[in-house]
Amino acid sequence: MNKYFSTKMSIFVFATPALLLFTVFCVYPLVPEIWMSLQKHNGFQSLGFVGLDNYKAIFASSSFWTAHKNTYLIVGISLLLGIPLSMTLALFMEIQTPRLRRFFKSAAMFPAILSVTVVAQIWLAFYEPNWGLFNSILRAIGMDSWTHSWLTEKNTVMLSIGLTFLWQYIGLNAMLFYTGIKTIPKSYYEAALIDGANFAQVCMRITIPLLQNIIKYVLILSTLGSMAFYSHVRVMTAGGPGDKSRTVIYQMYYTAFDTSEFGKGTAIAVVFILECLLISFLIQRFVARDKLEF
Amino acid sequence: MSKASKLKSATLLAAVLLVVSACGNNTDSGSNQVSDNSPAPAASTDNSAGNEKKIKMRVITITTDENRNKIMDEYIKPNIEKALPNLEVEFEPGGGGEDMANKLKTLNASDDMPDVFWNDAGYFTPLKSTGSIMDLTSAITADGYIDKYAVPDALKHVDGKIYSLSSGADTYFTPVIFYHKDMFEQAGVKVPTTFDEFMQVSKTLKSKDMVPAVTPGKDGWGPKLFMLQQMIQIGDPQAMADLVSNKTDFSNPSVKEGVARIEKMAKEGVFPEGISNLDYGPAMEMFTSKRAAMLMMFTWELPNLAKDDTVDFFPFPSASDKYDPAKVVQFWGSPLNGYAVSAKTEHPDEAVKLAEFLAMADALYFESTGAPISLKTGNAASEKSPLMQKFIDWYNPIPTKIASFALNSLDARTSAELSSQGANLLTGEYAADSFVTAMDKIWSENTWFDN
């Protein structure tokens, strides 16, 4: 076995197909994309080389910055609210009886397996301002002044969509954490119990530190997943009202396809690719670098 | 060559073959190919050749409104096999609005245009500039189809060519305000004749816990397609006509006043909460279920709404002496709206026949509803509903018909930005001045009139 599979050649053999596919489908498309971002382009033909004009134009556009604000708001919701809640849910599942645990596991996974369109339609009904669930409850308990047109007011639209996103994927992350928890040796918990540690101390001193690889994985998944946030916006508000709920990906789509300015659209894409690379690098560089063995 | 090198070469070759096969353009599997499920060897345009192989055709058309779905289910699908036995037609839902536009623009960019598709002024320009849309003049002249049109010249684009075949019903589509007579009676209000009266009627309806008026607002549908035009037109029709023909811009005081009227309606609760995110279907449902007293909508919904005896309509009420609804009206039609044929289809003759069949299906449907059409079906004129007759009696004698701003004045960017700005305006959180400032800049960069 070693003769064939422990050599540099074997690394080359196994890596080549994937590398080739990655190059053809991921790296190569960047080249024409960058080239297109330097042209005035309507999607069908180049209307001339414009240098960095597309980049200047997108940086001067308020919609570009609104889209960034919205995207990073979703990232923030996903990381600051989503990950702690997922972790809490996972810890909660761990201490349940097997029967309840099965129920919670199924309930947690259910939203994640639904299509985005279905989830968005359900939440559209919740948010409907005239007869929707949320406003109806608020009116029923006499809190009329708290009712909102959730998806058309500039202060509530992005938070409302973010909550939908959170609801859909919180269970998936919880399942990842739960799977990680199950890999931690029982003996650690037994020793902690003998030493008189309570539940919170066990979580803070044993469970969470030993989950760092899973946390890193969920962090990357949640960050990049949130940055690619598009489908919920498309179905729920179409980026509106105006540009109030556009994310960067949506702004890129809008610019390229709705306004037929593919040069500017690809310029947004290039800038966003750089942002994603930078964030990915920062996570890799600073989060959970120590090798964990137990 | 060493074993290692041979193994490396074999692996690389396999990987390259995998990639090439995935990326390859299989010329044997296009949409225009002859299917294998028939024993005859060649494609044929002969309708009597029932046993010959069928030619596959792909059609993309609008699928978002009830009329279109009825035409498809009741007039196209049940009859197409008999009318065109040599064709095997695959219908692909196109959606509507920006979705339809983006779909066709994407298919055009990837050189994968359907053989026949619904054309629209909103995405005609890129299709024309890439040579993707066929001039139908010679084909429909040769087979005599053009003679079925009451006014053949109405089919011609400004360049003199014919790109689309329609029933001609579009010309009769105009925005009006439908209302429930019983809800008006219940609230004790009368049909308004001025904009101020309209606002007062809305206030009264609202005070009776009724939603005064509804219209699709998501993605700025209503403001872009008719509301902006109507609100300008009811104050100064000439200013609107000038805007359509690029003789004025958004800094025109009459245009600003029109925009301010939309802001006023949004702020004073004429529309339901969340109007700027209200889609076409829910807006229609809100009116038909009598949760809203009025509906601002094009008359293409008139045949469906006329089934309810409590529904009537009135023109947009006047905001100044310059406007008289009996003398000026907006019409929807554009010679570009209709079934078009891809210039790149492998079977142009069959595709033209298919487009002709589809246009006739449209005509038969609209004729059955009592709507006026310009494509002659050969049938005797059907009896019109009282509401349709009322519409025709009002619409036909109107001497000045202003073309649609949305269809005849906007390039892709201006159209998209007007949608966004219009949706903003409906929130009631966006000032008319901000709208005017934004649109004035976008309008100055509009390339529609450059061609």
CA–CA dist B256, B375 (Å, integer): 39
Task: Decide if B417 and A238 are in contact by the 8 Å CB cutoff.
Answer: no
Using pLDDT thresholds of 50, 70 and 90, give the confidence band for residue B280: very high
**A3-25: average pLDDT:** 83
Encoded tokens for B304:
């469906």
The answer for A 27-56 residues in CB contact with B (under 8 A) is 42-45
DSSP B356-409: HHHHHHHHHHHHHTT---SB--SSPPPPPPHHHHHHHHHHTT-SEEEEPHHHHS
pLDDT higher than 80, residue A113: yes
Using pLDDT thresholds of 50, 70 and 90, give the confidence band for residue A26: confident
pLDDT value at residue A230: 94
Encoded tokens for A97:
């009886």
pLDDT value at residue B6: 61
Encoded tokens for B78:
């049940």
Q: pLDDT tens digits, residue range B313-323?
A: 999 999 999 99
Q: Would you say B328 and B400 are in contact if contact means Cβ atoms under 8 Å apart?
A: yes
CA–CA dist A132, B274 (Å, integer): 11
pLDDT value at residue A157: 96
Place of tokens 């010309």: B171
Tell me if A2 is assigned to some domain. no
Instruction: Pick the residue from chain A with its C-alpha nearest to B410.
Output: A259
Tell me if A291 is assigned to some domain. no
CA–CA dist A18, A24 (Å, integer): 10
Instruction: Pick the residue from chain B with its C-alpha nearest to A18.
Output: B15
Using pLDDT thresholds of 50, 70 and 90, give the confidence band for residue B132: very high
Encoded tokens for A288:
């959970």
Instruction: Pick the residue from chain B with its C-alpha nearest to A4.
Output: B4
pLDDT higher than 50, residue B69: yes
| Average model confidence (pLDDT) across chain A | 91
CA–CA dist B21, B17 (Å, integer): 6
- All structural domains of chain B with their residue ranges: 25-169+334-378, 174-331+402-450
**B91-98: average pLDDT:** 85
Q: Of the ranges B90-94, B318-322, B356-360, which one carries the lowest mean pLDDT score? A: B90-94
pLDDT higher than 70, residue A16: yes
Please report which helix (H) or strand (E) contains residue A126, including its range.
helix A116-127
Q: Would you say B377 and B363 are in contact if contact means Cβ atoms under 8 Å apart?
A: yes
pLDDT higher than 90, residue B35: no
pLDDT value at residue B22: 45
Tell me if A9 is assigned to some domain. no
**What phi and psi values does residue B401 have, to the nearest 5 degrees?**
-115, 115
pLDDT value at residue B151: 79
pLDDT higher than 60, residue B29: no
Tell me if A23 is assigned to some domain. no
Task: Decide if B102 and A13 are in contact by the 8 Å CB cutoff.
Answer: no
3-state helix, strand, coil in chain A (%, to 5): 75, 0, 25
Tell me if A92 is assigned to some domain. yes
Picking from A133, A260, A261 by the largest number of B CB atoms within 10 A of its own CB, the best residue to mutate is A260
Q: How many domains does chain A have?
A: 1
CA–CA dist B116, B343 (Å, integer): 10
Picking from A42, A63, A117, A164 by the largest number of B CB atoms within 10 A of its own CB, the best residue to mutate is A42
pLDDT higher than 60, residue B360: yes
Encoded tokens for B61:
């058309």
Q: Would you say A267 and A55 are in contact if contact means Cβ atoms under 8 Å apart?
A: yes
- Would an 8 Å CB–CB cutoff place A4 in contact with chain B? no
% of chain A beyond a pLDDT of 90:
69
B-chain CB neighbours of A256 within 8 Å are none
Count CB-CB contacts under 10 A for residue B383: 8
Q: pLDDT tens digits, residue range A232-251?
A: 999 999 998 999 999 999 99
pLDDT higher than 70, residue B26: no
B174-331+402-450 belongs to CATH 3.30.1330.20? no
pLDDT value at residue B12: 53
Using pLDDT thresholds of 50, 70 and 90, give the confidence band for residue B27: very low
- CA A175 distance to own-chain centroid: 16
Instruction: Pick the residue from chain A with its C-alpha nearest to B102.
Output: A257
User: What are the CA-CA distances from residue B362 to residues B19, B31, B71, B73, B339 (Å)?
Assistant: 45, 24, 6, 12, 10
- CA A226 distance to own-chain centroid: 2
3-state helix, strand, coil in chain B (%, to 5): 50, 15, 35
Q: pLDDT tens digits, residue range A192-220?
A: 989 999 988 998 899 988 998 899 889 98
Fold match, B25-169+334-378 / B174-331+402-450: yes
B-chain CB neighbours of A261 within 8 Å are 413
Instruction: Pick the residue from chain A with its C-alpha nearest to B286.
Output: A130
- Would an 8 Å CB–CB cutoff place A190 in contact with chain B? no
Q: Would you say B178 and B340 are in contact if contact means Cβ atoms under 8 Å apart?
A: no
**A125-147: average pLDDT:** 94
A-chain CB neighbours of B426 within 8 Å are 152, 241
Task: Decide if B211 and A258 are in contact by the 8 Å CB cutoff.
Answer: no
Tell me if A246 is assigned to some domain. yes
pLDDT value at residue A232: 95
- Count how many Cα atoms sit within 13 Å of the Cα of residue A105 in the half-sphere of its side chain: 14
Instruction: Pick the residue from chain B with its C-alpha nearest to A255.
Output: B413
Tell me if A215 is assigned to some domain. yes
More confident call, B30 vs A40:
A40
**B283-311: average pLDDT:** 95
- Would an 8 Å CB–CB cutoff place A117 in contact with chain B? no
B-chain CB neighbours of A44 within 8 Å are 108-109, 126, 129-130
pLDDT value at residue B298: 95
* Farthest-apart Cα atoms in chain A, separation: 77
Task: Decide if A151 and B274 are in contact by the 8 Å CB cutoff.
Answer: yes
- CA A212 distance to own-chain centroid: 19
pLDDT higher than 70, residue B46: no
Using pLDDT thresholds of 50, 70 and 90, give the confidence band for residue B383: confident
Nearest Cα to B128, choosing from B163, B83, B177? B163
CATH at A158: 1.10.3720.10
- Would an 8 Å CB–CB cutoff place A20 in contact with chain B? yes
- Name the residue facing A13 among B11, B19, B430 (closest C-beta): B11
Partners of B60 in the beta sheet? B92, B117
pLDDT value at residue B451: 59
Encoded tokens for A70:
């919205």
Q: Would you say A189 and A269 are in contact if contact means Cβ atoms under 8 Å apart?
A: no
B-chain CB neighbours of A43 within 8 Å are 105, 109, 126
Start-to-end CA distance of chain B, whole Å, equals: 63
Give the CATH superfamily of B25-169+334-378: Periplasmic binding protein-like II (3.40.190.10)
- Cα of B412 to nearest chain A Cα, Å: 5
Interface contacts A/B by beta carbons within 8 Å:
112
Q: Would you say B123 and B101 are in contact if contact means Cβ atoms under 8 Å apart?
A: yes
Tell me if A264 is assigned to some domain. yes
Task: Decide if B14 and A21 are in contact by the 8 Å CB cutoff.
Answer: no
- Name the residue facing A241 among B106, B108, B424 (closest C-beta): B424
Task: Decide if A152 and B276 are in contact by the 8 Å CB cutoff.
Answer: yes
pLDDT value at residue B110: 85
pLDDT higher than 90, residue B372: no
- Name the residue facing B219 among A17, A42, A238 (closest C-beta): A238
Q: What range defines the domain where residue A126 resides?
A: 62-286
Q: At what angle do helices A212-227 and A62-76 cross, to 10 degrees?
A: 150
Task: Decide if A13 and B427 are in contact by the 8 Å CB cutoff.
Answer: no
Q: Would you say A114 and A168 are in contact if contact means Cβ atoms under 8 Å apart?
A: yes
